[in-house]
Chains A and B, each alone.
Chain A
Amino acid sequence: MTKIGLEIHCQLTKLESKLFCSCKANYREFKPNHNICPVCMGLPGSLPRLNQKAVKSATSIAMALSCETPEKIAFFRKNYFYPDLPKNFQITQLNVYGDMSVGGEGYVRVENKKIKIRRIQLEEDPGRIIYEGASERTKITLVDYNRAGTPLVEIVTDPDFESPRQVRVFLNILSDLLENLGVAEPGLEGAMRADGNVSIEGGSKVEIKNIGSFHDLEKALHFEITRQQSLSERDIEIAQETRHWDDRRKITISSRSKEEDQDYRYFLENDIPWVKIDQNTRDTLKENMPESISSKKERYVEKFDIAPQVAEIIASDKYYSKLFENAYSDQNAKDIANLITTDVIGFIDTKEKQQNSKITSKHLSDLIDAINSKIITRNSAKIALQEIMKSGKDTKDVLQEMDLGQVSDSSEIDAIISQIFEDEKQAVIDAKKRPETVNFLVGKVMQKTKGKADPVKTLELIKSKLNG
């Protein structure tokens, strides 16, 4: 059986400042080497200063993943030389003197499987290396330290995944979860990275590093599984090693020499005192945590009898759940949910559109009221939504301006039906012979009324006309 484990790094870009200094956490808008200070540059005599909110955010993540959270946390130095490390050590967390990283063991449910989380830790991102020219012929390494010190949360899972597809589902769940917590923006480029380890039945564990995106991760995992399987088929032993992902050639390459001789000489980072996270703080964090996606979904299903798939869609996206939560009443919850997942989602399918849309919860509840009071048809509501999204005008005004009021007056509809019967003589004959084809005529009426005719009434009247 294939076993895959992950090591995910997520930047806490929703924080204002870096993990150990007051430079900006989200470095992306700066010119190279213009988001730095003596601390994140590791200048002689500088000292790290731990970001309070980073600890809280990381603890919230740990809680959201059902991880144990310790009473006190500590930081350690991981010592090695690399041009993107200003101090030539990284400040990170370890669990050698007991559990001292922000999160201990936890789990995430993926479909029906429980993926175990081993630990969660806070650490600083190194700077970014840009190679001048092709990597083999590079004469110089270029470094940008804007990213150095950006807060990272590292999430390590047990090798519980059975397929790359399962990994993908997990990463989507994790991204939604982190976004829902308001601590990260997984969509930002480079904000979430994952390394993996893979072993197939009877084979050793192989680590894969240097994977740039989730997209690449899936590719890398597929490649690696295939590579290991072909070795196994030829009775060749799969070496336990670290390989790195070559993005250009889309293959994994053994990096044996680089990793093996490394001795990180881990020891406590004494410039940062141990931090007490008492029960009070943890309780407060837990209370203030936005409701988890799964419990939201459960609530929607149980309380409002909303279909599970519909509930899942709304719960998973902060934008929709906010719309829903502010729009529903005990009577119209189901309708609002359906309106969101059938129509709103069709128009507003990107984060950008979400940001620019002018639809409010009031618009939705007004529309549902209008539908239920038979002022407009469901169809008209859809048209109205498109306009509201752009203009944000009051529902009543839009309905009036666009003349979307439902035509429910029987004589009005009757008149139109008569017209249609004139125009579609063949269809009328068909409908009399085979009743199921009557919808064609209903459709025609809707077309003629630009969707405003009351569909129920229309059908009634057509049927009686056919029979009568």
Chain B
Amino acid sequence: MVDEEEIIKVAKLMKIDLEDHSEHVSRVKKMLEYFDILDQIDLSSEEITSQLKSLDELRKDEFIPHDKRLIDSLKNFREHYVRAPKMN
């Protein structure tokens, strides 16, 4: 059984406001309960792998300037800096 309080705590961490969306909690709970199926499979011998590339396939170290006007096309930019809300 998944703790509803914990789901709410996680939502806060993910910057999700749950005030008008408490129905989400029960639906998320249902999905998590379905995931319990993962407990039934034997995974003891499994290892995690990934794509592997060699060093020389990587990007060469070069400075290539990008369009200087990029910042102008994004919002919240005024007089050089991006304006973000104040930190606590």
Contact = CB atoms under 8 A, between A and B. Distances in A.
B61 A52 contact: yes
Interface stretch (B27-35, B36-44, B77-85): B77-85
Interface string B51-74: 111111011111111101011001
A56 B54 CA distance: 12
B86 interface: yes
Contacts of A273: 50-53
Contact of A274 (B51, B60, B70): B51
A190 to B, nearest CB: 17
Nearest to A81: B15
A276 B53 contact: yes
B13 interface: yes
B2 interface: no
A351 interface: no
B81 A33 contact: yes
Nearest to B49: A274
A174 interface: no
Interface string A123-155: 000000111000000111111110000000000
A240 to B, nearest CB: 23
B87 interface: yes
A23 interface: yes
Interface residues on chain B, size class: 20 to 34
B69 to A, nearest CB: 9
B83 A141 contact: yes
A143 to B, nearest CB: 4
Contacts of B74: 41
B48 interface: yes
B81 to A, nearest CB: 4
Given A140-B85, A144-B81, A51 B61 contact: yes
Given A17-B63, A81-B15, A143 B86 contact: no
Contacts of A140: 83-86
A281 interface: yes
A436 to B, nearest CB: 64
Interface string B10-31: 0001010000000000000000
Interface residues of A, number: 50
Contact of B81 (A41, A142, A261, A275): A142
B15 A36 contact: no
A130 B81 contact: yes
Contacts of A97: 48
Contacts of A56: 55
A50 B59 CA distance: 6
A91 to B, nearest CB: 14
Contacts of B54: 275-276, 278
A55 B58 contact: yes
A281 B82 CA distance: 42
Contacts of B48: 97, 268
A115 interface: no
Interface in A107-132: 129-131
Contact of A23 (B52, B55, B66, B86): B66
A52 B60 contact: yes
Contacts of B70: 36-38, 41
Given A32-B81, A143-B83, 17 more contacts: A15-B61, A16-B62, A23-B63, A25-B63, A31-B80, A34-B71, A36-B70, A51-B61, A52-B56, A52-B59, A52-B60, A129-B87, A138-B87, A144-B80, A275-B55, A275-B58, A276-B54
Interface of B: 13, 15, 48, 50-56, 58-66, 68, 70-71, 74, 77, 80-87
18 contacts: A22-B64, A23-B66, A31-B80, A32-B81, A33-B77, A34-B68, A36-B70, A37-B70, A50-B59, A51-B58, A140-B84, A140-B86, A141-B85, A143-B82, A275-B54, A275-B55, A276-B54, A276-B55
Interface of A: 15-17, 22-25, 31-34, 36-38, 41, 49-56, 72, 74, 81, 83, 97, 129-131, 138-145, 261, 263, 268, 270, 273-278, 281
